[in-house]
Amino acid sequence: MKGKLAFIHSFIYSFILSFFLSLFSFARAQEVGSLFSERLNIYGYGLFDFCIASEGEFLPGLPYECRKGGSFAQVLAAPFFEFLITKRAKFLLEIELEYVPEYEIFGEIEAPKNVEDIKDIEFSTKGADKVLVEGFGEIDIAYAFFEYSFIDLLRIRLGKYINPFGLIFERRDASPSYPYLFVPMMYSKVADVRIMPYYNAGIQLRGESAYLGYAIQVANGRGSVGNIIDANPDKAIGVHVFGRMPDGVLEGSVIGFDFYTDKDFKDVRHNTFGGHSLLSIRNIGPGNIELWGEVAYYTTETKDKTTKKVLSWYALLSYRYFISENWSLLPYVMYDTFDLNLDEKNDLISNIVFGLNVSPFSQLVLKLEFRNQRIQGEEKSRQIFGFGVAYAF
């Protein structure tokens, strides 16, 4: 009898203890969940597009899928994680989940023994007569940085980040916030020339008010592995300054200047000077007019110790027509040009672009784009058609 009573008592005590432990665990889980909901923000963007060209492959300034025959190839989703450590400190992370076509040239590399310099390695073209184009998945940490805000006009940013440059590099909702389907050539790699690297690893001082903003950076500079590995003592230096209209008829208008200089792994200096402007005029009939314009002047040293000068610019005119509270149409026309060397002839690439954006609500944009691309010195021009779906969440 005593054994049964002892068993009953132990069962009751165990039940009570388990009950209160469960309540405590649930309360802690609620507390942790509340902590994450208050301090962690998750948002991002995505893009899916199709592109087809009248002829040619590897068209200048365009994705690899823009070729004769066309391809559904550009699939991208990029979630952002913003963790608020304190009222002044935060950590930001962007992860890009991407499926894109790439090309690889197969060959052999013969490295003799006791090679001290990579320049001494001999390259063989055996097996490199074919270029393989295939799709593959990629996960990339686009940026990961810590930011501390002293005041609105003074913040410090440390880590890997998108370079502050021009009108669109730091638009973190990406495609839904700018009109074109394919970015202008000054933002792309054209014939082995990249005017401005996308990312950098370093430190920034930045700030902004209602009318002005700036970013000053010291970083590693361009490299072969995401600008993280630094192979030279000369650091990159960049300045990004802009002014804007916070309200009124010209609300959203921006004008700014950029300067950036760095060295690559071969100790070659690269300099970029840029200017950007966005004129926004509101309440013109049932919509708004926007005039976009950017220019970039780039110099670097060539193998024969001469200076290569590159100039790229574009101008875009658009009109956003508001059909209803949510629906809008945005037709646009753009002229986009890239001169590979100002001291040489027959190397100017130009695009005349017509496009239409259809947006059922602000976070979703359906994009149609047609462009005529001409390369100076070639008789035929190329016609490229693309459509895409861009969304922000």
Residue written as token pair 């100002």: 342
Q: What's the angle, vertex CA 42, arms to CA 213 and CA 327, rounded to 5?
A: 75
Q: Give, for 148, the enclosing helix (H) or strand (E).
A: strand 131-151
Question: Which structure tokens are listed for 211?
Answer: 């009318």
250/9: higher pLDDT: 250
The structure tokens listed for 109 are 């590399």
- Residues 297-333: pLDDT tens digits? 999 987 777 889 999 999 999 999 999 888 999 999 9
Confidence (pLDDT) at 13: 52
Q: Kindly list the distances between the CA atom of residue 231 and the CA atoms of 24, 220, 223, 299, 300, in Å, as whole numbers in the listed order.
A: 53, 8, 8, 21, 18
User: Tens digits of per-residue pLDDT, 185-216?
Assistant: 999 888 888 899 888 889 999 999 999 999 99
Highest mean pLDDT among 70-74, 110-114, 376-380: 376-380
Share of the chain above pLDDT 90, in %: 41
* pLDDT of res. 142: 81
Nearest-angstrom CA–CA distance, 104 and 163: 27
* Range 67-94 average pLDDT: 85
Residue 19: strand, helix, or coil: helix
- Digit-coded pLDDT (tens) for 146-190: 999 999 999 999 999 989 999 988 776 556 678 888 889 999 888
pLDDT of the residue at 75 = 77
What would the mean pLDDT of 17-41 be, rounded to a whole number? 56
Residue 133 vs residue 339, higher pLDDT? 339
Decide: helix, strand or coil at residue 384: strand
**Sign of the alpha-carbon dihedral angle for 280, 281, 284, 290:** negative
CATH architecture of 38-392: Beta Barrel (2.40)
- Give the start-to-end residue ranges of the domains of the chain: 38-392
pLDDT at 267: 78
Contact 153, 207 (CB under 8 A): yes
Going by C-beta distance under 8 Å and a sequence separation of 6 or more, which residues neighbour residue 282?
249, 250, 251, 252, 288
